[in-house]
Structure 1
Amino acid sequence: MSKNKEKCIKWKNADFYLFYTLAFAGIALFLYMRFYLNGKSLVWSHDGVPQHLNSLAYYGRYLRKILHTLFIEHKLSIPMWDLNIGYGSDILTTLHYYVIGDPLTLLSVFFKSSQTEFLYEFLIFLRIYLAGIAFSRYAFYHKNSKQAVFMGSMIYVFAGWTIYAAMKHPYFSNPMIYLPFILMGIDKIYKKEKPYIFIWSVALAGLSNFYFFYMLGIFMVLYAAVRYFEQFEDRSLKNIGRWLGTFFVYSIIAVLIAAVILLPVILPVLGTDRFKAQNYVPLLYDKVYYEKYLGCLIGENMIQWGVAGFTAVSMTGVFVLFSKRKKYTALKVGFVLLNAFLLLPYAGHVLNGFSYVSNRWIWAYGMLIAYIFVKIYPELFTLTLKEKRKIFVMLLIYCGIALLPDAARTQRNMMAVIFLVAATFTVLSFGSFFVKKRNLTIMVSVFLIAGILFNIYYQYSYEKDYLSEFTGQGEALDKLETGTDLAVLDTEDSSLYRYDQMGTHTYENSSMQMGTNSASYYFSVAIGNISNFFDEMYLNTPREDKYDNLDSRTILDRLAAVKYFVVRAGEEEYLPYGYNKMAGEAEKKGKTYRAYECDNALPFGYTYDSYIPREKYEKMSVIEKQQALLQGVVLDESSLPETDLTFNDSEVPFKITTGKGCQEKDGKLIVTKENAQARLVFDGLDESETYLITEGVNYEALSPRAMISDKKWENMSIYEQNQVLHENSSWRYWKKSQKAYIDVTGKFLNKTIRIYTDKYNAYSGKHNFLCNAGYSRMGKNSLTLTFQNTGVYSYDDLKVVCQPVTKVDEQVKKLGEESLQDVKVEDHELTGKISVSKPKALVIALPYSTGFTAYVDGKKTDIKQANTMYMALNLAEGEHEIRLTYHTPYLYTGLCLTCAGLLCYIGVVLIYKKKRGNKKG
């Protein structure tokens, strides 16, 4: 195609894009007004505040800082690590999932933090808008009419995925932008056109988000396979191999271009507990899923992220598609295949990276549905009587099955079916009631837009109550200015330290916004060494990617260099041992927060004169491990003498009494009533922390029938039994058995053990928990367990252990006698000075990472992984200057691969230019 002809086509399509923009703006305004008129922002309260908005605001500051150092200070400095993120985290690997790599988030450099909410909301709609543009480019490439492309674009961009999921997670729209370009690139390669679009769309997808890049790769392969068998008659192994080789080369070039981000991000993810956890994958979904399935395609949201909700007219297109014999085979195969994916949990497991079952790939199904309508649009005007009969029968069958189950007959589903019936009858009436194509087009368009507007209206109706999950206008960023951080800042302490808290955090990651150093974290990508340490310590953090504190455990807070501990006024019982002096106070929304200073806190660098072999450490109990860390450093090997360990913990016998609705039997607690209780009575020790330890704990929900004893069942009437059986038929074992909560209450204290099972999407394989019932001068004598959920709570062991704190001050003092002084952290570098009287191991309370490089007196020194979570340096007797620098692991390797990919791409361009020159010659 000549350049002049391409320009002519683009000019002719200008009116399409103007009309598309106006229609998009109108529907987007309708959607936005659902928020605006209710005083809501588009920032989701749960993940939106601590993760999405927080990351976008941080990224803007981050980019501006880089530009400031470049143009004002005339040096290039790109920070790669930040102590304000969790215990200290890699910036790229933590924030890539949210902002880094997405070209659109670069706009944050132009917006102050106070303006981030506006940018955040603008980007939500910009991404959806661009998805429609991408879809139209694909559809126009395949020579479809403007009317058809317009309707298909509306179906694509205003489906359940965007009006529900993209509002929660803005970047969930990104794969919708890349998918059409990738598929168009595949078609161009098959037509032996330039592969540039394919290479760059794949590369940008890889740079943007590794999670959706994986899914895009699967659909890319499926599409290429279907298109091959559709277009080529030569299906010999030789020809298939030739095309496989072609796509392999171009795909490798694209992946190499993206390697600068893709490589350093993917490798840490593969080592996380959440990735390695064996999630429950049922053979089939619950019965209710299949009962609601057909209706949910055009109505309600399905479970496991099956957010279809396509405007009802799209299903009319499917009916027309299947009324045509021997046509559109590829689209029919695609429709059957993707519906099979939606119906089988294992497909959701595979498409979610072999993790928990999730249909977060449904945006790809949306493109198929939309393009089916685009392709069959011309057929609406040429239907034969026989085909109309088929469509009518399909409509009857669909409506009957979709609305037959009670669970499916929701207001939204029934209204969607009404739109479907009206649209389908409008199409069937063409040639009799409607005779002008223009009138049919207008009517179908009206039903299409009406279906979209209804889905939006109902999703954000008061009955659905989805709006309640979003923050108020202008409030989101303010929520990250927590009273906890304000109390810590009120100490006016300029030294380097961490703070911990109990029961005060409204949101994790607030330290990113406030510039403090906390013990909390909540991002999708977590540091494996921290999770491993938490596992060893039985910390009550069932999610490895979300942790709030160290459970007020004195030893763990000391080892983490926690100088301040924050509680709400009146809740001082949550303070660990040794935090006696109030050093800061702040008020936030009528609540008072107080920061207490530790009498004997450890600094960020402290020293051990002996070590514990890891092999020996791993054989200890959880309480012994905790005590051991105050006496010797845990290393694989060392030249230091081995630690002579002493332990003073005491397991105390207890009696358990169960209340109404709770029964103890064979190492299980069977709970048949919500908030049923069990009480543990014992004689605790003075000056101790009291621990409730559960090992091998698991949870299984009880169905309505299972909660009724056989004796009670026999005394029930047939009607009452049938009522229970009816409830039992809609009971969802998989859903109900995901998680459970046990409140642990003692004198003036209330904590919660959270149990996540392999049926929960955030399951990380954790089954051992230690709940710290708190420090007390006088020994505790009882704990009450309140079970929030009915079900069976099983465990391998349940015990109460008292941990005296009498030796803690002495042991901590020894570790801090010779410590790192004048510690400074700037960008990705830590410096300090230390003097030791004999050979020692300097432990630095930063998470161990291969990205750190250490220099002692200017000489590069090996960094050892110490105490599972932290880092250690061997020091000889004398004074030393310490410097640690950080570079993202595999970043330089990825950069080299990106350069190689760009060189390969240039080679491809030159080859195509040479071919073009030869043709002209």
Structure 2
Amino acid sequence: MKTFKNRVSYYFRFTLLFLITALIIYAPYLVLKKSLVWEHDSYTQHLKAMIFISRWYRQSLRALISGNWKAISTYSFTFGYGSDALTTLAYYGVGDPFYLLSVLVPARYIYLFYSFLIVFKNYLSGIVFSALCRSRWPEKAHDGGILAGSLIYTFCGFVLITCMGQPIFLDAIIVFPLVLLGIEKVRAGQKPWLFILAIMLATVSNFYFLLSIVLMAVIYALFRYFPIEKGALGRRFGEIGTMFAAGTVGVSMGGVILLPMILTVLGNKRVDMKPAVGLFYRQLTCRNLPAAFLACEEIEYGALSYAGTALLCVFLLFLTKGYLKQKLQFLLYTVLLFVPAFGYLTNGFAYPINRWCWAYSAMIGMLVAEMWPLLFEMTPGQKRKMTFLLALYFVVCYILSWSVGITFLIPMFVTTLTLVCLLQSQRADFPEPAVAAPAAAPAATDPASAVQAAAPAATDPASADQAAAPAVAANAPADDKDFASAARNGRRFRRAKRCILYLTIAGICANGICKNSPDYSIRVSTYKEQKYLAMPGPNSGASPANDRNLWINDTSQIAASIGHDTTQFERVSNTQTDYWYQNSSILNGISSTQSFWSINNPYILEFLDKLAVSDANNNAWQFTNLDNRAVLNELASVSFLYSMDPVRLPTGYEETSLDPTTANSVYPNRMPLPLGYTYRKTISREKFEALSPAERQEILLTHAVLDNPGVLEDKASPESLASSLECRKVPFTVVSLSPDAVQTDDNTFVVTAPEATVMLSFDKLTGGECYLQMKNTDFRETNKAEIYSDDPAFDANNLYTKAMWDNDVTLYEKYMLYRSLYNNNKAGNVKIKAEFYSGSEWVDENTVNFIVPDNEQYYSGRRDFLLNSYTLRKGIDSIVLTFPTTGVYHFDEFSLIHEPLTSYETNVAALSAESLQNTEIRQDPSSFVSTGVTGDITVSENKLLCLTIPYSEGWKAYVDGEPAVLENVNIMFSGLMLSPGHHTIELRYETPGFLYGICLTAAGILLFLLWLILSIRPNRRRRRPAPESVSEPDVSDNGPAPDGDEIPEMPQMPASSRTT
């Protein structure tokens, strides 16, 4: 009963402190009526994913209840061009147990549920972490440290910064301590049920963190188990074997999510990129990491940001003898923060970042819990050294960072205040006479200390006789004055310890305020107001140029304008990337050319690369449109365009919107290709890749591209194919509009000042489209010191000389230059702007966004671009290029190409002449998942049916009821070879690996149940009790210890020092 009361008391205090801390940290959101939905990833991805998952779960549940199993599907055409919903959303919560509750929440209230989950998961992480720490340090003396450590973990920088924008990451900070608690239970001789369930949760909740959770758990276990104490080798290795078997069972139980994701991730382009990984992170990252221990800043997408108490505990750790394993663990984890290879490994081999910092935070939280009693028992030497170390830390951070901001200075001030108070809160400053008092006296002043006073030796398991000593001590002569002084000092000491706990909370709140208060950061302004997430009323609206309301967007307006039937196939696009409402198509049941998800179909990305599409993003997980290129829009079956500027409408679209009197700027395609159209000829991929990007685009109007062209193959050579095309190169001259931009050869520009410009002049082009081709783009950034070095490679016009550097550049300017070089990374991307002119009249502009290869997180490998001029209605005769950054811009080919599109309509008509009719995508009107595609077609000769469905091994095709081979057509799409005659076409979809994943999950559950049954069978031999040393506290709980894991005896602690 006493243990239960202590547990209830602890969790009540934690809950109260959590609520107070959370209220302070998130107060700006409440005052400003902001939601917890960040306008970037949260709004564009996570919230919309939750709405989709909620609808999908409800529809699947209805299908299960009604017995209509065939209505359950995992494919949706609303994810860009179409994608697997299970693998696309596994990163966004499909396997998250909390998302099951979304079934009960209507879509209009999902944003409230979303915000609630962020706070609730945050709270739950602290509860689980508290349970872990209380299992390791059950003594009352550690309660205050466990409270402090749990709050530090709960409100670490990973939570305050990263998880606020990516709330699904909160699963990691819940599951990880649960896994560690499972390890502790196995280590204590208990059954591995918690460990199995924790591993299963890690597998299904978010596969992204599974590898890092397992890896960090293994490291934790190594520190807990080694070196193994004498005589326990067999037992310890038996426990390790148990954990390995239990982990295998847990992973198997999550196989229904894991196996499809493994197959998907292996084909993901982000994994295929294999970025260059250095020995250490870039210099700026390494210099800023020490200050980031306190400052609320994100470094390499990892945030630490701890209260100052954590820093003081780290100092004390290295000022105290013993604790060898804790010191090694801290040093190892800290070194790994600087090593990109470890970040690359824990990030699933995508790119190197420190998103594993939640494990570092767990280590810090446990360190605070462990070192807490020693904070109040410091020697004079330790106090002097700690003061010196704090001052040294500030100086080092200032020197390394060159300067420190308010986000560091405020936490540093709170840390200094904590140290000052701590130095005045030492146990030695509150002496208690060596006398005992009646048991009723301490109970009157502090109920918690009464229990300790009744059993002053309870912390010493080796002294059974001392447990009965109070009766003897009570008979000792005691002076009332001494007893009153002792009680008074005891109360003062407990208040002093509470003061340090409150200062710890103040340090946490300081970080939260620095990040969330509009006085110190613009962050709160980037969160959506609640009114823009609520379902609008019947008379409300939103500007199509302003993505303010979740429910009124480009695809919703297209759907309203065309009277879209959500059970039918329509694909839409947008002419202006600035006005794209990302992922809005999943809310409206319509297919689009836009997608912003971490996992994308690799065939789509390859198509964009081969056709040199200049997208607004050009990264591996986000694509917007097809640069308004008429041919590509047509081949992708784009039927409607949303456009705020009709001048950007490609050839073939109506020039009057469907609703000319409203803001709904929706323009229909006059002759859209359907979901399925046919080719008479094919070519191999080798011939296709021998052509230039512009030639590849045009050849797709007449020839389909296949790995095995078959009987329809055109035997002509690539040269012969190219000669039959209309596109041609246009000669031009380059004129520098400013002396800071010089063309040193046909393919190289040297730029010595930002925003320098050149002009390309040529004979006037009319009709069709014009492309600026940049092949194998490369960029080398230069700084002023290099520009003034007399090196013509950096200053071709010799505008800036070394003599000018010595004489004309002031010391202050040089200082500011070197300071900027010291503190700033190089450009991660350059946006080259092209403005198109007809004479002196500005026509339009377009931009190529080149991501430099050194930008590992965003670089997608795309270096070839065809920058579109849009339809040449007025004609153009010049292009002005603006280079944004100083440096050397080099291209293997820099040319101008004209695509007249004179045969465009003829070729489109030929493709659609014999096309798929009576097409149904069998899309559920509520969840927008599709159970398959059906249609019929009649062809007059052997033809290839191209289906504008992104190719996937999950599709199975049937022609006239018989299985057929589904081909990969035109790099991106699917297709079927057809013989002359009438055919019925059916496509069915099954997530690759899903069936095997179900079997793996079933096997895991059966193994778990079998293990459970065998462990509780009646005739089972009675379990051997765990060795006594297992139940003893850790070596590090109360002081330095030998090299082994346990110590034979714990030192006795005064009763008053064991109360928080």
Q: Give me the TM-score of the superposition, normalised by structure 1.
A: 0.94
Shift of 1:216: 0.7
Aligned pairs for 1:87-126 within 5 A: 87-126=81-120
Show CA shifts across 1:631-655 (max 9, x none). 1221122443323643111011111
Structure number, greater radius of gyration:
2
1:803 is aligned, of 899, 918, 921, to: 899
Counterpart of 2:882 in structure 1 is: 786
1:227 is aligned, of 206, 224, 227, to: 224
Aligned pairs for 1:594-633 within 5 A: 594-633=665-704
Counterpart of 1:564 in structure 2 is: 640
Q: CA RMSD in A?
A: 2.4
Counterpart of 2:155 in structure 1 is: 158
Show CA shifts across 1:75-101 (max 9, x none). 563221011111011000111111100
1:647 is aligned, of 718, 725, 736, to: 725
Aligned pairs for 1:228-377 within 5 A: 228-233=225-230, 245-326=241-322, 328-377=323-372
Show CA shifts across 1:856-901 (max 9, x none). 1111211111111111112221111111111111000111111111
- Distance in 2, Cα, partners of 1:288 & 1:96: 34
Quick check: 1:684–1:690 contact (8 Å CA) kept in 2? Answer: no
Counterpart of 1:736 in structure 2 is: 826
Closer, same or farther: CA 738–234 of 1 in aligned 2, 3 Å = farther
Shift of 1:795: 1.6
- Distance in 2, Cα, partners of 1:456 & 1:847: 44
* Aligned partner of residue 93 in structure 2, secondary structure: coil
Shift of 1:822: 1.0
Counterpart of 1:4 in structure 2 is: none
Counterpart of 1:872 in structure 2 is: 975
Show CA shifts across 1:41-80 (max 9, x none). 2111111111011001111111111223333576563221
Quick check: 2:46–2:166 contact (8 Å CA) kept in 1? Answer: yes
1:23 is aligned, of 14, 17, 25, to: 17
After the TM superposition, which of the residue ranges 367-376 and 618-627 deviates more from structure 2?
Answer: 618-627
Counterpart of 1:682 in structure 2 is: 762
Quick check: 2:71–2:931 contact (8 Å CA) kept in 1? Answer: no
Shift of 1:913: 2.5
Aligned pairs for 1:479-878 within 5 A: 479-492=550-563, 494=565, 496-503=569-576, 505-541=579-615, 542-568=618-644, 571-585=645-659, 592-643=663-714, 645=721, 646-660=724-738, 661-666=740-745, 667-683=747-763, 685-708=765-788, 710=790, 711-716=800-805, 717=807, 720-721=810-811, 723-731=813-821, 735-747=825-837, 748-760=843-855, 761-777=857-873, 779-826=875-922, 827-878=930-981
After the TM superposition, which of the residue ranges 139-148 and 129-138 deviates more from structure 2?
Answer: 139-148
Quick check: 1:581–1:599 contact (8 Å CA) kept in 2? Answer: no
Show CA shifts across 1:230-286 (max 9, x none). 4444798x9997666444322221211111101111221222222111324344444
Quick check: 1:117–1:476 contact (8 Å CA) kept in 2? Answer: yes
Matched, 1:445 2:501: yes
Residue identity (%): 30
Quick check: 1:70–1:76 contact (8 Å CA) kept in 2? Answer: no
Aligned pairs for 1:69-218 within 5 A: 69-71=63-65, 75=69, 77-144=71-138, 145-218=142-215
Matched, 1:35 2:36: no
Q: Give me the TM-score of the superposition, normalised by structure 2.
A: 0.82
Closer, same or farther: CA 887–662 of 1 in aligned 2, 3 Å = same
Shift of 1:307: 0.9
Quick check: 1:278–1:758 contact (8 Å CA) kept in 2? Answer: no
Show CA shifts across 1:358-411 (max 9, x none). 111111111111110100112123323333343333333223323345644222
* Aligned partner of residue 325 in structure 1, secondary structure: coil
Show CA shifts across 1:299-324 (max 9, x none). 13142123111011111111222221
* Aligned partner of residue 860 in structure 1, secondary structure: strand
Relative contact order: is structure 1 or structure 2 higher (C-alpha 8 Å, sep ≥ 6)? Answer: 2
Show CA shifts across 1:189-221 (max 9, x none). 233321111111111111111111121121012
Shift of 1:174: 1.1
Closer, same or farther: CA 771–235 of 1 in aligned 2, 3 Å = farther
- Distance in 2, Cα, partners of 1:288 & 1:633: 49
- Distance in 2, Cα, partners of 1:197 & 1:547: 42
Shift of 1:817: 0.6
Q: Which residue identity does 2:598 align to in structure 1?
A: S
Quick check: 1:488–1:584 contact (8 Å CA) kept in 2? Answer: no
Shift of 1:610: 2.1
Closer, same or farther: CA 278–728 of 1 in aligned 2, 3 Å = farther
Counterpart of 2:463 in structure 1 is: none
Q: Which residue identity does 1:138 align to in structure 2?
A: L
Closer, same or farther: CA 583–860 of 1 in aligned 2, 3 Å = farther
Closer, same or farther: CA 757–239 of 1 in aligned 2, 3 Å = farther
* Aligned partner of residue 533 in structure 1, secondary structure: helix
Counterpart of 2:796 in structure 1 is: none
Show CA shifts across 1:460-498 (max 9, x none). 233321112211223146235214540353023556321
Closer, same or farther: CA 702–468 of 1 in aligned 2, 3 Å = farther
After the TM superposition, which of the residue ranges 182-191 and 722-731 deviates more from structure 2?
Answer: 722-731
Quick check: 1:84–1:512 contact (8 Å CA) kept in 2? Answer: yes
- Distance in 1, Cα, partners of 2:1018 & 2:190: 11
Closer, same or farther: CA 155–641 of 1 in aligned 2, 3 Å = closer
Matched, 1:882 2:972: no
Shift of 1:920: 6.4
- Distance in 1, Cα, partners of 2:891 & 2:242: 55
Q: Which residue identity does 1:538 align to in structure 2?
A: A
Counterpart of 1:471 in structure 2 is: 528
Closer, same or farther: CA 25–810 of 1 in aligned 2, 3 Å = same
Which consecutive residues of structure 2, in runs of 5 or more, have no partner in the other structure? Answer: 431-488, 535-548, 791-799, 838-842, 923-929, 1025-1060
| Aligned residue-pair number | 908
Show CA shifts across 1:329-349 (max 9, x none). 222111111110112333323
- Distance in 1, Cα, partners of 2:397 & 2:427: 29
- Distance in 2, Cα, partners of 1:87 & 1:795: 31
Q: Which residue identity does 1:323 align to in structure 2?
A: L
Quick check: 1:845–1:870 contact (8 Å CA) kept in 2? Answer: yes
* Aligned partner of residue 785 in structure 2, secondary structure: coil
Which consecutive residues of structure 1, in runs of 5 or more, have no partner in the other structure? Answer: 1-6
Q: Which residue identity does 1:715 align to in structure 2?
A: M
* Aligned partner of residue 379 in structure 1, secondary structure: helix
Counterpart of 1:904 in structure 2 is: 1007
After the TM superposition, which of the residue ranges 441-450 and 302-311 deviates more from structure 2?
Answer: 302-311
* Aligned partner of residue 752 in structure 1, secondary structure: strand
Shift of 1:517: 1.7
